[in-house]
Amino acid sequence: MDLQAQIEREGFPPGTSVIPLAEPGGQLFRATQDGGTRGLELLLTNEAVRMYGAGPSLALVLSRLRERAERGLPPALAPGVYERQVFVGD
């Protein structure tokens, strides 16, 4: 399935934007709200994908971001700089 279609299918709250970005060692998912003044990044490491599988890893990342977005994302640390969490393999 197309990654953008999966993001849209997750059912993020209105006004939430989720952008996947390539990152050394994995893929970064950046969720923002309020024009980027609030946001959270979740890095899905390559090790996590190898350990848990691409589908389950991606589903977990998107559901965690959606749950957090429903509660409201934290304020940006600085313009364009957001709190980051990392999903690693054991």
How many Cα atoms occupy the beta-carbon half-sphere of 35 within 13 Å?
A: 0
Task: Break the chain into its structural domains and give their ranges.
Answer: 15-87
Q: First vs last Cα of the chain: how many Å apart?
A: 27
2-48 pLDDT per residue, tens? 888 999 999 999 999 999 999 999 999 999 999 999 999 999 999 99
The reported pTM is: 0.93
The angle subtended at Cα 40 by Cα 47 and Cα 32, nearest 5°, is 125
Is it the case that residue 72 has pLDDT exceeding 70?
yes
